[in-house]
Amino acid sequence: MTSSLLELFLSGTALVLIQALAALPWLYLLEPEAFKAAAKRVEVVATFVVAVLVGGAVLGTVMGYYNDPTTMELYGWYYGLILHLQLVVDSVIAILGVVLLVLPRGGTVAWATFREGYRQPMFWLLLVAVVLVMFFSAIVPYFTFGDDYKMMKQLGFDMIMLSTMLFCVLLASMSVSEEIEGRTAVTLMSKPVTRRQFLLGKFFGILLAGWFMTGLMAAAFIVALAVQVKWGERLANETNDAMTTQVQSALTPAFQALTPGPTGKAFAHGVALWDGEAVTNLLG
């Protein structure tokens, strides 16, 4: 059963609009003043609406051309990956906004500490190393008599947790000690910033850097699990995770409500598969 042109257009427009709205926070963060000025201009808003409609038409055309349900679920899964990465960035921006609202001076310190954290070579070294090890662990046989998938998933949880904890500990030790040795902490204390605000700002900034690393690793972890399912050593019924299945089943109707037609609903099911896995794994 195929979808009509109107259903494809509406589905594509809804999906493109979600991605566009998810991109707005980090676009604002890049140039806050320019973003505010552009948002007040009618022609910019009109261009945004036209771009969403054109993108929806293009995506609807692609969905109509590749209207196989299995293919649509796969494309929806890839869409979920992109949305996941955008939401990780959005969550950092939202948390920073709340901290700045509640604790203005401490929030400024937190923002500086977060930028210092993700700019550290250690951040990307640990991230790349853990991602490579996760993909390697996806194809290694563990000789567990049918529990290779479970073993790989547990190892992934441990790698993400330990590497993020190591990064946060090292960043905390370096950040505070460098502030003291470089006398920038003394200079900062001469400003209207208390020690409590300084330390809380450092604390939240380091936590945000760790959360950012965790979100990026979580995306790579889900892809590595998919690699294990396709090419790893496992039994046919080994990859059933009751909690993941329940979350995916709960999310599927919500996503399918945004996309009319069977093609759009198949695409939305793929998005729900990714997001259900992401929610379950982030809890883990």
**Tens digit of each residue's pLDDT (9 = 90 or more) over 79-94:** 899 999 999 999 999 9
Say if 117 falls within a structural domain: yes
Measure Cα distances from 169 to 117, 206, 210, 219, 222 in Å: 11, 9, 10, 23, 26
Three-state secondary structure readout of 216-236 = HHHHHHHHHHHHHHHHCCCCC
| Distance from C-alpha of 272 to C-alpha of 247, rounded to nearest angstrom | 9
Say if 81 falls within a structural domain: yes
pLDDT in the model for residue 234:
52
What are the structure tokens assigned to 138, written together?
């996806």
Say if 30 falls within a structural domain: no
User: For residue 25, is pLDDT > 90?
Assistant: no
User: For residue 128, is pLDDT > 90?
Assistant: yes
What digits encode the pLDDT tens for the residues 204-262? Answer: 899 999 999 999 999 999 898 888 777 665 544 455 667 777 888 888 888 888 777 78
Domain that holds residue 184: 68-283
What digits encode the pLDDT tens for the residues 146-199? Answer: 677 778 888 888 999 999 999 999 888 887 776 666 555 555 555 666 778 878
Say if 37 falls within a structural domain: no
Strand extents, DSSP E, the chain: none
First to last CA, the chain: 38
CA 270 to chain centre: 16
What average pLDDT does the chain have? Answer: 82
Say if 102 falls within a structural domain: yes
Q: What's the predicted TM-score (pTM) here?
A: 0.82
Q: How many folded domains does the chain comprise?
A: 1
Say if 4 falls within a structural domain: no
Say if 8 falls within a structural domain: no
Q: Which of 20, 26, 27 is nearest to 47 (CA)?
A: 20
